[in-house]
A and B are shown apart, each in its own frame.
Chain A
Amino acid sequence: MGQATVRVLYFGLVRNVVKEAEEDISLPAGATVRALVEILCRKHGEALRDALFTVEGTLTANTILLLDGTNVQYARGLDTEIGNDQALHILLTTTALAGG
């Protein structure tokens, strides 16, 4: 099976967990966003998993994953397949200020 290289870029509060701004990750061609995120969580520890996911394994409200600029929710979510040379942006935004 071939390999793909995907560039992962981190923005926002996730930088408190992952200290680097970006990194390249190799993974099998056709791998999903879910598989990539699992690799990242194993690499950077459970703190990353806790930041990105709820207890039921869904993304938290302030986690946005963009694959080449498009939110994966408009594709197949975490099951979206990643192509070679794509870029995954992990944005951990502040939950929109609220109250009232």
Chain B
Amino acid sequence: MYESQSQPVKENVWIKSTCFMCWNTCGIRVNRVDGVIVKIEGQPDCPQNWGKTCAKGNAGFMSLYDPNRVLHPMRRTNPEKGFDIDPKWERISWEQAIEILTEKLKKIRADDPRKLVASTFDTRGQSGVFFAAWTAAFGTPNHWGGGAQYFCGNGFHPVTYLTHGTWFGEPDTRYCRYLMLFGTQNGSVSNHLPMDLAAKMADARMAGMKLIVVDPIGINAGSKAHEWVPIRPGTDAALALAMIDVLLNEEGLYDKEFLRKYTNGPYLIAADGHYLRDESSGKPLMWDAEAARARSFDDAAFGEIALEGRFTVNGKEHPTAFTLFKEHVRQYTPEKMAPVTTIAAETIRRLAKEFGAAAQIGGTIVIDGHELPFRPAAASWYRGATAHKHGMLTGLAIQFLNVVVGAIDVPGGHLGSNPVSNTAPLHWSPTPSADGLIIPQGYARRRKPPYPATKVKAPERFDLLDLCPVAPYGGPFFTEAILHPELFKLPYFPAMLIVCRSNLLMTCANADVMAESLKKIPFVVAFATELNETAEFADLLLPDTHYLERLDAIPNEPTEFVAAGQGPWYWMVRQPVVPPMGEARHWVEVLFELADRAGFRGDLYALLNGTLELKAPFAYKPEDKYSWDELADRWMKSWFGADRGLGWFKENGFIITGEKKIDEAYPRPFITPRLPLYLEYFIDAGNEVKKTADGLGIPWDTSDYQPLVAWKPCAAFEVKDDHDLIVVNFKLPFHSLSYTTHNALLAELSEKNPHAYSVLINTATARRKGIGTGDRIRLGTAEGYEAVGEALLTECIHPDVLGVAGCFGRKSEGLKLSRGKGIHFNGFLPHKLDRIDSLSAALDSCVRVKVSKVEPHGQARGAESRARALGQGRGSSRRI
């Protein structure tokens, strides 16, 4: 008979840290019993998530203890690279690895530091900030941002920069009572601040907020909405512009005061499309209706600003920008956009009227003694709407719904993520350009704002941002430049790639295309916790720490991971809960050691002092050498005080530095810079790009550099032959990129969830094609890519659309739980220059396919059972 021999527990502690299963930095508390993590929960009082975690957060420790973890440095001995090719790893020591890297980096730095390419999505907090400084100190501008630069915020971040003055934004669910979501599942454990937004969304729904979800896929967010509006992929701008047409030209429902005061709508426009400018000052002119004359936009003597009309200046008639905008949207009537979007004209008209009425134009609300404009209607959007060619124009069109009703940075409307901070430790607020438009400042401008435009020149960096003056980043262009360097006339070619937390082969585009580009880089160094597809292409594979083993100071950036609107300012810490397993080392710590050996540690510290605004006595001294912990400690003390260093943060988990003041929560009424409804600067930016590209013989589309937003069809809009359906990707709340698919608990969820590994098809469409649930179906593109999956019939998908979830169809030998299961959606996507949005670098993520049944329903189960026994899931994909 078995007798239990339980041992007394010697240690049972809860440690505060920050999750890193996705990028939302939820505050967690981790239970460690006798050195083993047994449970993860949310920190109850952390403002990031108020004690909640999602399935991913709860499951984090399973990837920590994954038996397939990379635990030792390894060197490739098989020079051949490819899927299913054994690298023939040879285990080496860290000292050997460091020596190899030091020698190579010194050589590259002496030759041309730009030949080093770095790819990571470990871009927040201490790791991200310090890594960015490391690459700058090394001398390379070449960041290959990975999948998130292909599909994610391309048409969101530059738009929020232009209109809010910051990197991110969200609807003010505290006061919003009518919310339209375009291609995003805000509030359904997707997008940013998922726990906080889920709670706020629930509260808003209880308070009566109406939720409209515009999406080709209706599961998750759509299924919980008051109304799900199935839309043809790639046509969200058409819907938004049709709604704006109704508001402006049918209902006369728009916030004239807001447009007059806070946009460039009143600016007079010359015949060439540029601003009409004062001859002596060069400033844009507006019309003073009181004085019946033109004045500079910032003239203190201005009487009544004319928003609409045509006015004669020096004998010539000039319209206001808003007049042109209002006339321009007339072409987007509901009747014309109905066949484009597949949404009935009466529905478009109704949505517009509801939105306009809900905005309560002219209404006010008193908060903390301040009377503010009250606009309880908002439209928000993200990847689903803008991961297309013309993604930037799409994002602008949707945001302009908020602009025309005045719902920008005021209670109830769409809010920027903290464009203003008047609270220690940092201060920032947007300033006006010479033309009076928003320029983000301080912490808010740490990314690449689209305005003012950067200088256009012949490409010197592989993301081709030199040809993208308004793009936030240029990830997809990296692949193009590596595959076709002769086309872009780059004066050098990469010699080394360092990659960590960026599974280029799976989260970018077609894996075969990505593989070819990786093979062209002579030396690939991958830091990894798991042996993923990209790691298998490495020449040097180094064990990275898991997030439960590492320290990252201040992982929650205030312009993305601190909630917008009312609430506290707070700063968090991620601390190790267990020591690193095996020989794992935090990859940025390794880079810092390399900086020391290669002789640029002092420069690195100088850059960090400037970036972080570190003050004496805590600024980093070039003659000293600090440990990772010391670097964090000095940073925290410089910002929060000598008694608020790393030790304090480890004990407390986060610091609250104050409650946002009203001008931080709702800044619009308190700041003067205007937002552009008319993108006048696009004209010159586009001309510069065209001139440069033409001069170099680079084929480059500049047609989207236009001052008035538009809907334009993407490649999948038209039916081609029998490729009559559009396949799109959608997110599941329990997965994030490729990182989570092989987590044991989450993989089990995938098996139980009907949507994970299946191909969603509309019930009526499927029946017309003789397809039933469980049938094996083949999806094929015109470019020759095929995938086979199991059909799942549902009403919750547009009739013309197929849905493939997440980032499945894994290929790596090291990922036993997810290899071969589901379909790798990205494989459908051709990687071509003409499928990349030249304004935002978004890769068009929908493609036409034809679908056919592979075998009768009865045989599918048997075949599937055999497939499962072989370790293959409900889908597979290949290029034919």
Distance between Cα atoms of A71 and B446 in the complex (Å): 14
In contact, A13 and B153 (Cβ under 8 angstroms) = no
Q: Complex: how many Å from CA A62 to CA B472?
A: 13
Contact status B136-A61, CB under 8 Å: no
Given A56-B434, A97-B145, A98-B123: A12 and B469 interface contact (C-beta under 8 Å): no
Contact assessment for A61 and B445 in the assembled complex, using a CB-CB cutoff below 8 Å: yes
Min CB gap B428→A, angstroms: 9
Chain A neighbourhood of B603, CB < 8 A: 11-12
- Once A and B bind, how many residue pairs between them come within 8 Å at the CB atom? 130
Which partner residue on chain B sits nearest A90 by CB separation?
B610
A36 to B297, CA, bound (A): 31
CA distance A53 to B469 in the complex (A): 12
> Hey, which chain A residues are within 8 Å of B713, CB to CB?
none
Instruction: Enumerate chain B residues within 8 angstroms of A7, measured Cβ to Cβ.
Output: none
Chain A residues whose CB sits within 8 angstroms of the CB of B143 once the complex forms: 94, 97
A1 at the interface (CB under 8 A from B): no
Interface pick from B212-220, B264-272, B319-327, B448-456: B448-456
With contact pairs A71-B613, A95-B447, A100-B153 given, residues A58 and B439 touching in the complex (Cβ less than 8 Å): yes
Contact of A6 with B by CB under 8 A: no
A73-B141 in contact (CB<8A): no
> Would B611 and A93 count as touching, CB distance under 8 A?
yes
Whether B148 contacts A89 by the Cβ 8 Å rule is: no
Shortest A76–chain B CB gap in Å is 13
Chain B, interface residues (CB within 8 Å), range: 35 or more
Chain B: minimal CB distance from A78 (Å)? 12
Taking A58-B433, A69-B609, A97-B131 as contacts, is the C-beta distance between A50 and B136 under 8 angstroms?
A: no
Q: Which B residues are within 8 Å of any A CB, using their own CB? A: 23, 113-114, 120-121, 123, 128-129, 131-133, 135-137, 139, 141, 143, 145-149, 152-153, 157, 167, 433-435, 439-442, 445-449, 452-455, 457, 469, 472-473, 475, 603, 606-607, 609-611, 613, 615-616, 619, 681, 684-685, 688
Cβ-defined contact, A11 with B610, below 8 A: yes
Q: Are B611 and A99 in contact (CB under 8 A)?
A: no
Q: Which residues of B contact A97 (CB under 8 A)?
A: 120-121, 123, 128, 131-132, 143, 145
Most-contacted residue by chain A among B23, B153, B445, B472 (CB, 10 A)? B445
Residues of B within 8 A of A9 (CB): 606
* Most A C-beta atoms less than 10 A away, residue of B148, B435, B447: B447
Whether a CB of chain B sits under 8 angstroms from the CB of A60 is yes
A91–B447 touching, CB < 8 Å: no
B136 touches A92 (CB 8 A): yes
Q: Report the bound CA distance from A58 to B738 in whole Å.
A: 39
Tell me if A54 is interfacial: C-beta within 8 Å of chain B.
yes
Contact A11 B455 (CB under 8 A): no
Would you call B447 and A98 a contact (CB within 8 A)? Answer: yes
In the complex, A3 has a CB within 8 A of chain B = no
Q: How far is the CB of B451 from chain A (nearest CB, A)?
A: 8
Given contacts A93-B607, A94-B136, A99-B152, are A61 and B455 in contact (CB under 8 A)? no
Tell me if A8 is interfacial: C-beta within 8 Å of chain B. Answer: no
Decide: A99 and B139 in contact? CB cutoff 8 A: no
Contacts A/B (CB < 8 Å), 12 sampled: A11-B606, A50-B455, A56-B433, A56-B452, A61-B449, A69-B616, A95-B447, A96-B132, A97-B145, A98-B167, A99-B145, A99-B475
- Give the nearest-CB partner of B557 in chain A: A96
In whole Å, how far is A13's beta carbon from the nearest beta carbon of chain B? 5
A66 at the B interface (CB under 8 A) = yes
A64 at the interface (CB under 8 A from B): yes
- What 3 pairs between A and B have smallest CB-CB spacing? A99-B148, A12-B136, A54-B452
Bound Cα distance from A58 to B434, whole angstroms: 9
Closest chain A residue to B473, Cβ basis: A98
Which B residues are in CB contact (< 8 Å) with A89?
606, 610
CB distance from B319 to the nearest CB of A (A): 24
**Bound CA span A92–B149, Å:** 22
**B residues near A60, Cβ cutoff 8 Å:** 454
A58 — which chain B residues lie within 8 A by C-beta?
433, 439, 452
How close is A57's CB to chain B, nearest CB, in angstroms?
8
Q: Is the Cβ of A55 less than 8 Å from the Cβ of B152?
A: no
A47-87 contacts to B, CB under 8 A, are 50, 53-58, 60-62, 64, 66, 69, 71, 73
Given contacts A11-B603, A13-B139, A97-B131, contact A71 B610 (CB under 8 A): yes
**Contact A99 B123, beta carbon cutoff 8 Å:** yes
Cα distance A4–B157 in the bound complex, in angstroms: 43
Choose among B123, B136, B137, B684 the residue with the greatest number of A CB atoms under 10 Å from its CB: B136
Question: Please, which residue of chain A has its CB at the minimum distance from the CB of B433?
Answer: A56
- CB of A16 closer than 8 Å to a CB of B: yes
A-side contacts of B114, CB under 8 Å: 16
| Separation of A66 and B611 alpha carbons in the complex (Å) | 10
Closest to B440 in A: A61
Q: How far is the CA of A66 from the CA of B608 in the complex (A)?
A: 12
Question: In the complex the two chains form, is B452's CB within 8 Å of A55's CB?
Answer: yes
Q: Interface centre among A55, A57, A66, A99, by most B CB within 10 Å?
A: A99
Which residue of chain A lies nearest to B449 when distances are taken between CB atoms in the complex?
A61
Among A62, A92, A95, A100, the one with the most B-chain Cβ atoms within 10 Å of its Cβ is A100
- Chain A residues whose C-beta falls within 8 Å of the C-beta of B131 in the assembled complex: 97
Q: Is the CB of B607 within 8 A of A12?
A: yes
Q: Which residues of chain A come closer than 8 Å to B435, judged between CB atoms?
A: 56
Taking a contact as CB atoms under 8 Å apart, the answer to whether A16 and B607 are in contact is: no
Tell me whether A73 and B442 are in contact in the complex, defined as CB-CB below 8 angstroms, given that A55-B684, A89-B606, A97-B131 are known contacts.
Answer: yes
Q: Are B606 and A91 in contact (CB under 8 A)?
A: yes
**Which residues from 1 to 56 on chain A have a C-beta closer than 8 Å to any C-beta of chain B?**
9, 11-13, 15-16, 50, 53-56
- Contact between A91 and B610, CB atoms less than 8 A apart: yes
Q: Is the CB of A96 within 8 A of B129?
A: yes
Which residue of B446, B454, B611 contacts A54 across the interface (Cβ within 8 Å)? B454
Q: Which residue of A lies closest to B129 (CB)?
A: A96
Provide the residues of chain B in CB contact with A93, threshold 8 Å.
132-133, 136, 607, 610-611
Considering the complex, give the chain A residue whose CB is closest to the CB of B472.
A98
Contact A99 B473 (CB under 8 A): yes
CB atoms of B146 and A12 under 8 A apart: no
* Minimum Cβ distance to chain A for residue B190 (Å): 12
Which residues of the other chain, B, contact A69 by a CB distance below 8 angstroms?
609, 615-616, 619
User: How far is the CB of A44 from the nearest CB of chain B, in Å?
Assistant: 15
Q: Do B149 and A99 touch (CB < 8 A)?
A: yes
Kindly report which residue of chain A lies nearest to residue B619, judged by CB atoms: A69
Which residues of the partner chain A approach B606 to less than 8 Å between Cβ atoms?
Answer: 9, 11, 89, 91
A64 to B133 Cα, complex, angstroms: 12
Say yes or no: B121 contacts A99, CB within 8 Å: yes
Q: Which residue of B lies closest to A96 (CB)?
A: B446
- Chain A residue nearest to B113 (CB atoms) is A16
Which residue of B is nearest A98, CB measured?
B447
- If A55-B454, A100-B148 are given as contacts, then 16 extra A-B residue pairs at C-beta distance below 8 Å, sorted by A number, are A9-B606, A11-B606, A13-B136, A55-B455, A58-B439, A58-B452, A71-B610, A73-B442, A93-B132, A94-B132, A95-B448, A97-B120, A98-B447, A98-B472, A99-B148, A99-B152
Kindly list chain B residues whose C-beta atoms are within 8 Å of the C-beta of A98.
123, 145, 149, 157, 167, 447-448, 472-473
Given contacts A11-B603, A94-B136, contact A100 B457 (CB under 8 A): no
Contact between chains at B448 and A61 (CB < 8 Å): yes
Smallest distance from the beta carbon of B729 to chain A beta carbons, Å? Answer: 15
For A57, the chain B residues whose CB sits under 8 A away are 434
Q: How far is the CB of A73 from chain B (nearest CB, A)?
A: 7
B441 proximity list for chain A (CB < 8 A)? 73
**Closest residue of B by beta carbon distance from A51:** B455
Query: Closest residue to A9 on the B side, CB-wise?
Result: B606
Instruction: Return B133 CB to nearest CB of chain A, in Å.
Output: 6
The CA of A86 and the CA of B455, in the complex, are separated in Å by 30
- Beyond A13-B139, A58-B439, whether A96 also contacts B123 by CB under 8 A is yes
Q: Which residues of B contact A54 (CB under 8 A)?
A: 452-455
Is A53 a contact of B455 with CB atoms below 8 Å?
yes
**What is the minimal beta-carbon distance from B686 to any residue of chain A, in angstroms?**
12
For B473, the chain A residues whose CB sits under 8 A away are: 98-99
